[in-house]
């Protein structure tokens, strides 16, 4: 038996999220089907976390155990030929048997992208939230800085979170401005359900002048979802990368303890 780790990108537009569920097309189901076609095995893959309907991934990671003897370097191409155009396997590695793509993860990075043009860029439309009116980006940057560090993110989490606690660490968070677009990059040891989207929705209120930058910290301290802004739309969110620190044996994330619902961002 081997354990294979895989990095995958997908355009989330056509999926009802990453994780298999009774209704709708999911990334997990499509990948499991491709593995079954390739090896004949009925395998359940383990994702580094969920992504909700409409959320994209540049570098989602999953792993699976297999008895197949397909050489490591052949997995990516063999799976890509069996997958639809909106999923692309980027790399596959042999990992230690105990490697678990969710529990072993050390850092995750998400990007939330906003189209600032008067009319949307038609080519980026599925990947950016269109916000044509003026935003105070300096204020948004100042507000975002309040969230860096180890905090209880109850205020910035969906009320549907089932986690025993909401303490997470944000290592880095910043905005990048490019022609016609604003990107927020955020890296942490784990993210709660809708966390990046609620942060972005609240920062949009800051950018619109409805909140002050310091309100981001006040809302954090208040530990109530009702204090924060709306959940920003799913299609602006992309899981950029999952890091494992050399694929070493698992050192738990803050959110490792609950197997029941170790959800990730929408």
Q: Which residues bind a second copy (CB under 8 A)?
A: 9-11, 56, 58, 76-77, 80, 85-90, 119-123, 125, 127
Q: Which of 52, 115, 255, 262 is catalytic?
A: 52
The residue among 43 and 58 lying less far from a second copy, judged by its C-beta, is: 58
- CB distance 121 to 180 below 8 Å: yes
For residue 170, the cross-strand partners are: 149, 188
- The nearest distance, CB 249 to a second copy, in angstroms, is 29
Q: Which residues contact 8 (CB under 8 A, 6 or more apart)?
A: 27, 31, 57, 59, 60, 61, 62, 87, 88, 89, 90
- The nearest distance, CB 121 to a second copy, in angstroms, is 8
The residue among 90 and 227 lying less far from a second copy, judged by its C-beta, is: 90
- The nearest distance, CB 90 to a second copy, in angstroms, is 6
Q: 110 a known binding residue?
A: yes
CA–CA dist 264, 241 (Å, integer) = 13
93: Cα separation from own chain's centroid: 21
- CB distance 181 to 198 below 8 Å: no
The residue among 25 and 160 lying less far from a second copy, judged by its C-beta, is: 25
Rounded to 10°, the helix 195-207/215-222 angle is 140
The residue among 91 and 152 lying less far from a second copy, judged by its C-beta, is: 91
Q: How many CB atoms lie within 10 A of CB 153?
A: 26
- The nearest distance, CB 70 to a second copy, in angstroms, is 17
The residue among 81 and 224 lying less far from a second copy, judged by its C-beta, is: 81
Please name which of 116, 187, 189, 199 lies closest in space to residue 154, comparing C-alpha atoms: 199
- The nearest distance, CB 35 to a second copy, in angstroms, is 17
CA–CA dist 94, 116 (Å, integer) = 42
Q: Please name the residue ranges forming H helices in the chain.
A: 27-39, 75-80, 137-145, 195-207, 215-222
Is 52 assigned a catalytic role? yes
| Residues of the binding site for substrate | 110
Binding site per annotation, positions = 110
Instruction: Catalogue the active-site residues.
Output: 52
């Amino acid at each position: 038996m081997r354990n294979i780790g895989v990095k995958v990108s997908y355009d989330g537009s056509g999926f009802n999220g990453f994780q298999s569920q009774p209704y709708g097309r999911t990334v997990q189901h499509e990948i499991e089907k491709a593995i079954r076609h390739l090896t004949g095995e009925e395998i359940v893959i383990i994702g580094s976390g969920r992504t909700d309907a409409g959320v994209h991934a540049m570098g989602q990671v999953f792993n699976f155990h297999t008895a197949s003897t397909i050489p490591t370097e052949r997995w990516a191409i063999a799976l890509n030929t069996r997958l639809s155009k909106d999923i692309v396997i980027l790399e596959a590695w042999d990992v230690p048997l105990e490697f678990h793509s969710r529990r072993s993860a050390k850092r995750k990075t998400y990007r939330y992208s906003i189209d600032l043009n008067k009319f949307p860029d038609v080519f980026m439309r599925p990947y950016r939230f269109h916000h044509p009116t003026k935003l105070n980006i300096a204020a948004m940057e100042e507000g975002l800085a309040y969230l860096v560090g180890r905090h209880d993110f109850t205020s910035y989490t969906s009320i549907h979170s089932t986690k025993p606690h909401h303490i997470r660490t944000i290592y880095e968070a910043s905005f990048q401005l490019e022609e016609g677009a604003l990107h927020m990059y955020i890296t942490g040891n784990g993210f709660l359900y809708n966390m990046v989207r609620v942060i972005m929705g609240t920062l949009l209120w800051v950018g619109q002048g409805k909140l002050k930058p310091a309100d981001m910290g006040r809302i954090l301290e208040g530990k109530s979802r009702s204090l924060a802004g709306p959940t920003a739309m799913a299609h602006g969110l992309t899981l950029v990368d999952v890091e494992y620190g050399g694929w070493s044996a698992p050192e738990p994330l803050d959110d490792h303890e609950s197997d029941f619902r170790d959800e990730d961002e929408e």
